[in-house]
Amino acid sequence: MTPSPNTRLPWRFWIVALVAFINAVSFTIVIPILYPYAKQFGLSDFQASLLTTAYAASQFVATPILGRLSDQVGRKPLLVLSLLGTVLANGVASLTPVPWLLFVARILDGVTGGNNAIAQAVVSDITDPEQRTKAFGIFGAMFRLGFVAGPPLAYVAQQVPPLPGLSSLGMGFLMAAAIALLATVLCLFFLPETHHRRGQFRLTGADFKIGTILRSVTHPHYGRIFVLTFMSGFTFTIFTFAFQPFFLTVLGQDARSLALMFAAFGIIGFVAQVFGLDPLRRRFSLVHILAFMLAARGLLFLLIPTFPTMVAFTLITIVFSAVNSFPFPLIESILSLRTSAQEQGQQLGTNAAFLSLSNALGPATAGLLVSFGYRFPFWVTGVLTLGVAAFSLTLESPQEPGSKNSPAS
């Protein structure tokens, strides 16, 4: 098929990309304040960790349901509803006087946290196959850029004199709610509906069964992609937990240096994703790019504990931050290209659910591995990631829409 001459992304894409950025900022403001906020309520370390588990587990169950509903009633209503859920959840968290309401807020935020999957379905709706890989790359980069902006804003929120009844950490949740409200308004007034509604509003008990989600790994077209999403996310979240005690204890750095390192990683990843993905996909198949990046990620995991110095760590992780920007948008692009228009929301939602499951299980696994030493999780996740890279090659298919971008001879 002759490529479409129109590679310019539609204006609606930039609106939904901006929504993704604002949503990511709202989410990442909470990350650096959640643990100390939990300690203010007298929660133990284990209880504080359950706040993250509650969010990820709730998101795992709810995201495919939101995606399926967006296929039935349209993207915009579900996107607005899920964003409003984030506004309400963070508002409750900022004001709660008791810890159990903090758990309720995190569960509510997780249940309505499928807005990113719905936004991805919007991207699929408004782009053609020639544009889609580029669109998903930019979309993911905007989301990543939001991760850079969130933690500094959390610091700023704590410097603002708190409103009556709020602590300085509670102000961070309030700022997150305000930013999510901005995304809601932007979506409500400027983003048109992109999906023709099919059927009536319908939700059955089967949609709430976790078994239904887990059985999707047996789907002949999408199952291996879902497994790959889970394993890629699982191995990466082992790293994200193990990275912090290794940086602070083994390398002897402080929290300020950690924040600066996170910001630098985010900027490098953003630049790599925006400017690197599209040229690569023009020369190589999506599956081959994905396998290479996963293999590189695994090797870099193994190098980190091998050379435990700050100079080596900085050099390794600069390369890692660029490499790590590719796998998830590539997986999403492959899934989108293999999914019919009528199933985009459901399958992207299911894929996001497996990512949420990995986000719930990865840190807990890393916590167990750290008990064997701060370097041990890197060895484990490095070997596992190399296995994931090998598994990704099973996605190769003669029918792959991107197969025309095969490696040059």
Tens place of pLDDT for every residue, the chain, 409 residues? Answer: 444 445 678 888 888 888 888 878 887 888 777 767 777 888 766 677 777 778 888 887 777 777 777 777 788 888 888 889 999 999 999 999 898 999 999 999 888 876 777 887 888 888 887 777 788 878 877 777 787 788 778 778 877 888 888 888 888 899 999 988 988 898 888 888 877 665 555 656 555 556 766 777 777 788 888 999 999 999 998 887 778 778 767 888 765 576 677 777 777 887 887 788 778 878 888 889 999 999 999 999 999 999 999 999 999 989 998 898 888 888 888 888 877 766 766 777 778 778 878 888 887 787 778 778 889 989 999 999 999 999 999 887 644 444 444 333 3
* The token pair that represents 92 in the structure block: 């409750």
**Structural domain count, the chain:** 2
Which ranges of 9-128 would DSSP assign to H, the alpha helix? 11-40, 45-73, 75-95, 99-111, 115-126
Is 99:43 a contact under the CB 8 Å cutoff? Answer: yes
Q: How many CB atoms lie within 10 A of CB 214?
A: 13
| CATH code of the domain in which 81 resides | 1.20.1250.20
Same domain, 155 and 57: yes
Last residue of a domain, one of 134, 167, 192: 192
Same domain, 182 and 216: no
Same domain, 115 and 246: no
Is 217:228 a contact under the CB 8 Å cutoff? Answer: no
Last residue of a domain, one of 139, 161, 192: 192
197 lies in a domain?
no
80 lies in a domain?
yes
Same domain, 235 and 112: no
* The token pair that represents 355 in the structure block: 């990512």
Same domain, 92 and 44: yes
SS3 content of the chain, % helix, strand, coil (to 5): 80, 0, 20
Last residue of a domain, one of 192, 219, 248: 192
Structural domain harbouring 57: 10-192
Residues 6+ apart with CB under 8 A from 112: 62, 66, 81, 82, 83, 84, 85, 86, 89
198 lies in a domain?
no
Same domain, 173 and 319: no
Same domain, 215 and 168: no
pTM, two decimal places? 0.68
